């Protein structure tokens, strides 16, 4: 990872040769600095200004993964993030576990990251989807997926954020083509014919050929660009924790639909599971206020006894749930990825997977454009990325929204219909196999990094 270092001789000589000694049309220092000694001028302006191929706003898993994918294409990048790297790398920073699809695992392998996290990942060998109530238990009608029904291997792997994020940070630190600006907030973004210019609260300015918004559902990059978003709140909150249990999970993930929202029990290494439990926002607030013993008393009747006794491991977290989809993913010199472009309900566990498909598709498009000598920030180049991803994202948003509305209620007729539907799909091998391939991320036209 490149850091701004005023004492680094290569940095100073590069600036002198490019902007002062050659007298080229490069970036000019502010007028207040032009009266300084030429050497001091070079050092101070080097600290304040960075030229790069791509500026990425947002240094979470999507932003860092994109930067690592772009360096394979020979593109330099600057990541700008409000948080300190030490904050992100803390084990308690984010309690989520990611159900990485087979194609997301392929992406991490292509970037040389999988070897760093593989030992901490749990293969997902099966998925069981059922409907039910707390007082009556699961319905006898269920849909079951087995990884043996596809030739490619496990449908995916469970990996905790506290394992993935440090591996990404290490890879970024080791890179010579990525500069990370931590504890930095972008104030303005100005797009011109050939570049996009950023100003920040630290005084550093960045000029890039392309700006990427990877800054989440409330993306400031999208807002400054005037990109509208369609969406709504579900008045639901995801309660996230990890539990230890007596009996082995055998690599089976469970999606259990309750009237208040779905309960996902996702296998982690050893006898542990990640819980993503959806409740109404009012109930979730009260549950989060409980002590550990009372919290477990609420979980147990929902979780059941099929894995034996359970106990909490680590911290508890909560995340409000909504859906947001941007009206456009690209503009001249600008592209959105991940939650900045689309945030969906976690009912299918596809949040990070959708972001990783964005990354693989965008890297594919930019690599091709670079090889053909095209402008990587031109709208006709970026439109290929939008055309590739937009339909897939809209379909995912519609599917997760519909499933949540159909299953998050206790209406008898709907309950009967969905139970019969689950049982029917389970009796149709071809349809079941299609669902498995979709869950594994194998459907559609795959970018090179996911093939």
Q: Note the pLDDT tens digit of each residue in 327-364.
A: 999 999 999 999 999 999 888 778 899 999 999 999 99
Q: Inform me whether the pLDDT recorded for 16 exceeds 50.
A: no
Torsional sign, CA 54, 450, 436, 96:
negative
Q: Using a pLDDT cut of 90, give the percent of the chain over it.
A: 65
What residue ranges define each of the domains in the chain, with the CATH number in brackets?
9-89+163-230+325-399 (3.50.50.60), 97-160+233-324+407-450 (3.30.9.10)
DSSP state, residue 201: T
Q: Which residues contact 83 (CB under 8 A, 6 or more apart)?
A: 59, 182, 183
Q: Inform me whether the pLDDT recorded for 266 exceeds 70.
A: yes
Q: Average model confidence (pLDDT) for the chain?
A: 87
pLDDT of residue 417: 81
pLDDT of residue 37: 52
Q: Inform me whether the pLDDT recorded for 422 exceeds 50.
A: yes
Give the helix ranges, DSSP H, for 271-313: 281-288, 292-303
d(CA 93, CA 165): 10
Phi then psi for 202, rounded to 5 degrees? -90, -5
Beta strands in 227-354 (DSSP E): 229-245, 252-258, 261-268, 272-280, 310-326, 330-331, 334-336, 342-343
């Amino acid at each position: 990872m490149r850091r701004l270092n005023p004492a680094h001789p290569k940095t100073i000589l590069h600036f002198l040769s490019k902007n002062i000694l050659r007298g080229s049309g490069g970036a000019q220092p502010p007028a207040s600095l032009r009266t300084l000694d030429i050497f001091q001028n070079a050092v101070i302006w080097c600290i304040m200004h960075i030229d790069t191929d791509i500026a990425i706003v947002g240094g979470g898993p999507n932003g860092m993964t994109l930067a690592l994918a772009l360096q394979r294409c020979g593109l330099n990048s600057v990541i700008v993030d409000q948080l300190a790297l030490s904050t992100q790398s803390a084990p308690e920073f984010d309690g989520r576990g990611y159900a990485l699809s087979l194609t997301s695992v392929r992406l991490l392998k292509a970037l040389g990251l999988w070897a760093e996290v593989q030992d901490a990942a749990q293969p997902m060998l099966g998925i069981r989807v059922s409907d039910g109530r707390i007082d009556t238990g699961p319905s006898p009608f269920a849909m079951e997926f087995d990884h043996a029904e596809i030739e490619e291997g496990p449908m995916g792997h469970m990996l905790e954020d506290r394992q993935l994020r440090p591996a990404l940070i290490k890879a970024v630190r080791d890179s010579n083509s990525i500069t990370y600006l931590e504890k930095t907030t972008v104030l303005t973004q100005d797009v011109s014919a050939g570049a996009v210019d950023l100003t920040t609260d630290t005084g550093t300015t960045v000029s890039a050929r392309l700006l990427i918004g990877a800054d989440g559902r409330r993306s400031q990059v999208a807002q400054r660009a005037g990109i509208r978003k369609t969406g709504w709140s579900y008045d639901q909150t995801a309660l996230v924790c990890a539990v230890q249990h007596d009996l082995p999970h055998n690599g089976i993930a469970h999606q259990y639909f309750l009237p208040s929202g779905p309960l996902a029990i996702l296998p982690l290494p050893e006898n542990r599971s990640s819980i993503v439990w959806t409740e109404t926002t009012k109930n979730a607030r009260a549950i989060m206020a409980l002590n550990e013993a009372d919290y477990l008393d609420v979980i147990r009747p929902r979780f059941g006894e099929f894995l034996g006794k359970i106990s909490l491991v680590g911290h508890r977290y909560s995340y409000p749930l909504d859906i947001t989809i941007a009206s456009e993913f690209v503009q001249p010199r600008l592209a959105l990825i991940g939650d900045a472009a689309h945030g969906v309900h976690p009912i299918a566990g596809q949040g990070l997977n959708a972001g990783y498909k964005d990354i693989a598709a965008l890297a594919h498009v930019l690599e091709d454009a670079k090889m053909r000598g095209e402008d990587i920030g031109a709208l006709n180049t970026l439109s290929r990325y939008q055309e590739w991803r937009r339909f897939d994202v809209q379909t995912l948003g519609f599917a997760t929204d519909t499933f949540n509305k159909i299953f998050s209620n206790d209406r008898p007729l709907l309950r009967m219909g969905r139970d019969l539907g689950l049982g029917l799909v389970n009796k149709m091998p071809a349809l079941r196999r299609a669902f498995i391939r979709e869950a594994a991320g194998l459907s559609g036209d795959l970018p090179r990094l996911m093939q």
